[in-house]
Amino acid sequence: MFFHFPLSPYLRNISLRIVYLFCMKIPEIEEIIAQDMNDLRACPKGLKCAECAADVCVKLVSVAEFPSQYGTFRIIGFVNNKDGKDHIVILKGEVGDGRDVLTRIHSACLTGDSLGSLRCDCGPQLHHALQLIEKEGRGIVLYHQEEGRGIGLVNKLRAYALQDKGYDTWEANVALGFGADERNYQIPAEMLRKLGVVSVRLLTNNPDKVESIEKYGIKVSERVQHELPPHEHDHLYMATKKERFGHLLHLDHNIAAK
């Protein structure tokens, strides 16, 4: 004899969601590339994305294994029709259901990331993010080609020269005729969406970044503090981040006296 116990609406919804998750087909990255490359071949503009009239178009065009000193990842290339820049994603593990993916959207900094500059905390933040994501076993570093908060490498070096004369990083960018922060997060949001990301645990101290990425449709389920200790070369830069840009930092302001 079998007994039938009717499910409550709450349990029924949970059961349907479980069945859906087991049955849904999550596309592999290679499948996304194949579809996007077919779309590009069919597009009259091809890879001449700057000539595309679409409001925003982001395509995933390559993926490769990426062994590094921090672990083994995959490195993923994109093209878009908005800025002509080579933004990439470094992916650990699988995106899966796309929820609560540990993510760092890292603005490019050649001087800090590659040349070991001590003027900023960019390099240590990038490397620490890769370490955290490797430990997590699942996550993303999105390398956002927005050097100098969007003003470009040479203009950033011009800003450095002004900082040597006493300007802070906010004042230097403005003195050069730019906004204090020229970055836009529409393309990063589209890149994450292309990979199936729904929500992120965002490694950032910048509340504006949280607001901006949510503005473009990616939910930030958690802001994960991403602060590294200041030192004698970057303590003024870090203080400017906190006091002028509103970053949520806990700084040792006595370091200047050390």
Q: Give the residues across from 74 on adjacent strands.
A: 65, 91
Q: How far apart are CA 185 and CA 94, in angstroms?
A: 23
Burial level of 69, CB count in 10 A (0-12/13-18/19+)?
exposed
Which residue, 204, 69, 202, 206, is CA-closest to 131?
69
- In the chain, the amino acid numbered 115 is L
| Identified catalytic residue from 36, 104, 183, 234 | 183
| Identified catalytic residue from 36, 113, 168, 181 | 181
**Secondary structure letter of residue 6 according to DSSP:** P
Three-class DSSP category at 9:
helix
Contacting residues for 12 by C-beta, under 8 A, at least 6 apart: none
Q: Which residue has the tokens 């204090």?
A: 180
* Six token digits for residue 81: 């029709």
**Does the annotation count 183 as an active-site position?**
yes
Burial level of 203, CB count in 10 A (0-12/13-18/19+)?
buried
**Does the annotation count 181 as an active-site position?**
yes
DSSP3 helix / strand / coil % (the chain, rounded to 5)? 40, 20, 40
Active site members: 181, 183
